[in-house]
Amino acid sequence: MRLPRLLVAAPGSGHGKTMVTTGVMAALSDRGLEVSPHKVGPDYIDPGYHSAACGRAGRNLDPYLQGETRVPSLLVHAALNPRMADIAVIEGVMGLFDGAIGTGGFSSSAHVARLVQAPVVLVVDCAAVARSVGAIVHGFSRFDDTVRVAGVILNNVGSPRHEAEARHGVAETGVPVLGVIPRLPAVVVPSRHLGLIPVAERQPAAMEAVAALSLMAQKYLDLDALIELAGTAPDLDVQPWDPAVEVGQSGARVARAPRIAVAGGAAFSFGYAETSELLIAAGAEVVGFDPLHDESLPAGVCGLLIGGGFPQIHASDLSANASLRAEIRKFADDGGAISAECAGLLYLGRELDGAPMCGVLPLTARMGPRLTLGYRTAVALSDNLLCRQGQRVNGHEFHRTQVDHGADGSGVAAWAWQGGDGQPATEGLARGAVHASYLHVHWAGYPSIAARFVSQAAAVAW
């Protein structure tokens, strides 16, 4: 497949990757190009801005969560849907060579660049350096001969003299400078403890920020050179990822299509586009609902998928929607299938920061003092809604809340894994047709989960 593409990376976090990537995506879209947006790693928030910039789903590329062999196929699938893309732009994660801890860079931006054969554009924050930028670029371009650092964007440049000095340093490396961005305090995307504020919480301010980033890219970046560089990527000789094929390999379609409702809105804005695609491929009808505003569930649903987000920011409003909370509690009591990740786990509990929640699970939650973050290799502790006992999955945690599971003894922990301190840990709760956990799992890596969930939902359809 012919797909021009490039990956935007940086020496580390905070250099301006998201600002530059979103600006490039928006500027190319404003030119009339169909841009396929991507993000390396498990992050949900940056793809929301990518989607706003491109008018199509922002999708993740993560070898740890999806499997190495699926990454190029997922890229091609995304480029074909909903329309054939003219170019794919991929935002990296952390520093170019930073991946899962202790793996030698597995799942890093460099790893993904190799898998999809994409040239890399390095964004460097020049606030505290000048000619030394050349040494940074030299090191990153020579560190791994299998990764092609083919361009540099100088960010946060303070003056023409500063720019000239930085350019002179980079010139000695032979890597071309493809843009110079001055210090622009007006172009800011607000953030908080878990990163940028999601697009779903900032409309229409988010769209205004994306428009400003487009203008920034048009003014300060050589878009023609970026397009030309993307065109140097070789053809991809892979078949597109196909959810129907994936589900077909992991389980038969159900005879009767169960209706599955997926939570969305400002409080539950975290999700992967491939999840709904897999559910549909497995035979489900997928509908959305917003726990902040919808007073009842969509009619006829027999499965609920409640993913991640920021329920703690909206706890009082979620609590105020008492009719929906009561309906979800009854839905669970009647045997409805519910899969809940992170924010969904908190919402199903008794209370969150003192605000009453659905009361499906015997737990209370509150904001904690530190961030829990990292990849996990987890093992299912029982046959449950999503997995068979002993199934192993790769996932990730990303939260600053803490949960007290209570003492009623009902259900079993959903997962076991080795904690960051090397000690065994259990997490989440599996009880009846409910599966709730902090662990985020990318179902594209484990299509059997979608097939099993749809099958279980169909079995309790009423």
Active-site annotation, residues: 342
Question: Can you list the alpha helix ranges (DSSP code H) found in 372-462?
Answer: 447-459
Amino acid sitting at position 93: V
Beta-carbon neighbour count of residue 407 at 10 Å?
Answer: 6
- Please say whether the beta carbons of 372 and 411 come within 8 A: no
> Nearest Cα to 438, choosing from 395, 377, 380?
395
- Please say whether the beta carbons of 107 and 63 come within 8 A: yes
Lookup: tokens for 24: 């490039």
User: What is the enclosing helix (H) or strand (E) of 253?
Assistant: none
CA-based torsion, 47, 204, 198, 293: positive or negative? negative
Tokens 């390095």 belong to which residue? 122
Q: What span, in angstroms and rounded, lies between the C-alpha atoms of 73 and 445?
A: 12
Angle between helices 70-80 and 109-116 (to 10 degrees): 70
CA distances to 154, 393, 401, 403, 414 from 367, rounded to whole Å, are 38, 27, 4, 9, 22
